Structure 1
Amino acid sequence: MRTSIPAGTAPAVDVHAHVLLPEVDALVACLPGHAEAGELDARRNGPAALAVSGPMVRERVPLLTDAAVRLAAMDARGVDVQLVSPSPSHYHYWADQETAEKVYRLANEATAAHCSAAPDRLRGLGLVPLQHPGPAVHALDHALAQGLCGVEISSHAPGRELSDPAYEPLWTRAEETGAIVFLHPFGCTLDERLDQWYLSNSVGQPTENAVALSHLIFSGVLDRHPGLKLVAAHGGGYLPTHIGRADHAWSARSDAGAGCAHPPSSYLKRLYFDSLVHDPHVLRELIRVAGADRVLLGSDFPFDMGAEDPLGALRAACLSEADLDAVRGRNAAALLNLAIA
């Protein structure tokens, strides 16, 4: 860790950073279903987006794969610790159960190996096969056995929302172990409606976040698992800034209020959110509704939809010193059990 951190100051901790795993890509490249999944992704994004994304990712491969290059970039940005998660392109929720087990084992082991290059500065998350809820607990246990802090999941799997009762064992095990569950969507089911102007990401990602979190809230998952350590990427998407509409539905309609015990807004204070909202006013609103103790620094390193200067984006919100310190790293340090000098 950088030695310039003043005594008593929490490290700057970025909880939203990715690693690219060529081993996983090689594993699935020629398997049945992989090409079809790629075609679906291409339709959802559109040709113009793919023409930009391909070169963008290729030029960032060293940042995504070489720990030394990553650490130098962290130093340049003033980031002391990253929580590194696999690129969401590695979910491969199309895979059969045998392939899915190979994917999560390889992803967990490769992520742990990447982080082992600087264990004081890099912590990691693994994967679970959401398309196969049965082995998901084993996948979480495997990730933890590699020394990872938890797992990354998407907003849904084909045919299953996060409210599906089949995921109850996963939530139970994550709560028991204190594992972090990082909710990061990949792909939006609005499909070709978003295939221009990169709407698949700018609109699709915050939509998927809002839908997934709403399923967890309204279904009562968070009532049954109050200790679940769930971190939502992209500031939770549209939900935190429009939570009043959810509260109104919960109080006005018997169908909306049937599944959860409290107003939806109250559950925001049980979740964690990264700070990657691209607008200081939205960040301040997120902190207002969720609490300064529930927001964590996030950059989406090193992709182009991320923040090149995540600490600068945080300072632009003109937070109090206490809130700035909390979001900058104190909250994440507590979540990851990091020592504060």
Structure 2
Amino acid sequence: MSGTTSGTTGGTTGGTVVVDVHAHAIVPEVEMVVAGAAGLEAQRALDLRRYGRESAAVNGPMIAARMRRLTDLGVRLEDMAAAGVDVQVVSPSPSQYHYWADADLARHVWRAANRGIAAIVDAEPLRFNGFGLVPLQHPDLLVEALDDAVELCGLAGVEISSYAPGPDGGRTVELSDPRLEPFWARAAELGAVVLLHPFGCSLDERLDRFYLSNTVAQPAENAVALSHLIFSGVLDRHPRLRLVAAHGGGYLPTYIGRSDHAWEVRPDAHTCAELPSSYLRRLWFDSLVHTPAALRALVAAVGADRVVLGSDAPFDMGVDDPVARLDAAGLDPADRDRIAGGTAAGLGLLPRKLQS
């Protein structure tokens, strides 16, 4: 890989080490852990209900066709070279959250996921960093799992969904849930990055056709989860928190004026210290918004220094050419380089051996 610890001498982009912050792997050990476990079949039935049979029938062959790209390190490196990507921050496929798991099984899931991602990083320590998993459905275990990912496995942070079912059938765990306060505090203390990547949507059968379960649900879930963080004051209480929203933060960044209006006129929405739009400058967002115009709008809303490169590789709703798509947006060269890798470097997402 071309590049130095400063991220300023990479060969693929005229000086910037290109960092893809949103790229996935499947950790086989996780699936071995959950195989045959009580609750797995019920979760699969729920997924089928949410996706609908037509989309579910497409998903299986799509994953099978990409399995080597999800599990084979050599193929992954070939994909990166073709895309002009120097570094990937690899996260487990969101299908491996397994938020249905009880506390004992959840511990096995996160340990397998964290060590599986760490093994990828260790195999090519100049090319990879990684995110582990935590059991969002068990708030009392989050700090333990975060420490496992960051302190024991050496990962840059963890990946979470937009919500989780409550433990033992209890209330849904939203990102505003007070039970998550120790987790946010510990993430801020460690300087760990939290990747917000929704998986699943509570709208269920309303989105069970035309693949709305992904095309509409993912950006909607991002908007809901980020709104919970903003309006609940999580970002006020934890100003050092580093949270990156996948899929460009969904619908929220470019329509947040409605949230500002509510904050100004509704006492029940006047619950955070500042205008909701001001919190966009306390968050980070990936570039996976699919069109040049949408990327320019995201940059206008949040600033180029709050956007990182993301591909969602190698899934079909991701892109194989994130650098080319960034270039197509026609941004100011300095802004383009920030998104390509400079902002990620500032977040500490370069491989540890490249960090100065």
TM-score normalized by structure 1?
0.97
Q: Which amino acid is the alignment partner of residue 10 of structure 2?
A: I
In 2, Cα distance between equivalents of 1:292 and 1:275: 10
Taking the TM superposition and a 5 Å limit, the aligned residue runs for 1:162-201 are 162-201=175-214
1:153 aligned partner, one-letter code: I
Q: Secondary structure at the match of 1:255?
A: helix
Q: 1:5 aligns with which of 10, 20, 24?
A: 10
The yes-or-no answer on 1:147 pairing with 2:154 is yes
Which of residues 214, 229, 254 is equivalent to 2:267? 254
Assess, with a 3 A threshold, how the Cα gap between structure 1 residues 221 and 195 changes in structure 2: closer, same or farther: same
For the structure 1 residues 2 and 56, does the alpha-carbon distance in structure 2 shift closer, same or farther, using more than 3 Å as the test?
farther
In the TM superposition, what whole-angstrom CA distance separates every residue of 1:199-231 from its partner, at most 9, and x where no partner exists?
000000000000000000000000000110000
| AA partner of residue 290 (structure 1) | V
Is 1:268 matched up with 2:280?
yes
Alignment check: 8 A CA contact 2:149 2:155 kept? yes
Matched residue, 2:236: 223
Q: Which runs of 4+ in 1 moved over 3 A?
A: 337-341
SS across alignment from 2:22: strand
Could you tell me how far 1:340 is from its partner in structure 2? 8.0
The superposition leaves residues 69-124 of structure 1 with CA deviations (integer Å, 9 ceiling, x where unpaired) of 10111001100000000000110111110000110011101110122111111111
Distance 1:293 1:71, change over 3 A: same
Matched, 1:17 2:23: yes
Structure 2's unaligned 5+ residue stretches are: 4-8, 166-171
**Which residue number in structure 1 is paired with residue 66 of structure 2?**
60
Correspondence for 2:41: 35
Question: In the TM superposition, what are the counterparts of 1:234-245 in structure 2 within 5 Å?
Answer: 234-245=247-258
The number of aligned residues is: 340
1:14/1:296 contact within 8 Å kept: yes
Moved more, 88-97 or 331-340: 331-340
* Contact 1:231–1:271 (Cα < 8 Å) also in 2: yes
Please state how far the C-alpha of 1:320 moved relative to its aligned partner.
0.5
Q: Partner of 2:256: helix, strand, or coil? A: helix
- Which residue does 2:173 correspond to in 1? 160
Q: Hey, what's the Cα distance between the residues in 2 that align with 1:115 and 1:46? A: 36
Please tell me whether the aligned partners of residues 156 and 349 of structure 2 are also in contact (alpha carbons under 8 angstroms). Answer: no
Q: CA deviation at 1:9?
A: 2.1
3-state SS, counterpart of residue 238 of structure 1: coil
Task: List aligned pairs for 1:266-305, cutoff 5 A.
Answer: 266-305=278-317
SS of the equivalent of 1:182 reads strand
Matching residue's letter, 2:100 = W
Counterpart residue number, 1:75: 81
Following superposition, the deviation at residue 8 of structure 1 comes to 8.3
- Secondary structure, counterpart of 1:205 in structure 2: helix
Looking at structure 2, the residues matched to 337 and 28 of structure 1 have their Cα atoms a distance apart, in angstroms, of 30
Aligned partner (choices 98, 106, 112) of residue 106 of structure 1:
112
Of 335, 339, 343, 1:323 maps to 335
Aligned counterparts of 1:115 and 1:271: Cα–Cα separation in 2: 25
Given residue 77 of structure 1, which amino acid in structure 2 is its aligned partner? A
Alpha-carbon contact 2:191-2:241 (below 8 Å) kept: yes
SS of corresponding position for 2:315: coil
- Which residue of 314, 325, 346 corresponds with 1:313? 325
- 1:336: how far off? 2.1
Q: Report Cα offsets for 1:127-162 as digits up to 9, x if no partner.
A: 000111111001000001201000000000111111
Unaligned 5+ runs, structure 1: none
- For the 8 Å contact 1:154–1:184, the answer to whether it is kept is yes
Q: Deviations over 1:235-293 (max 9, x none)?
A: 00000111000000000111111x20000000001000000001211111111111110
Report the secondary structure of 2:260's partner residue.
helix
Cα-Cα RMSD: 1.4
Question: How many Å separate the matches in 2 of 1:245 and 1:217?
Answer: 14
Find the counterpart in structure 2 of residue 205 from structure 1: 218
Q: Percent identity?
A: 61
Partner Cα separation in structure 2 for residue 119 and residue 247 of structure 1 = 43
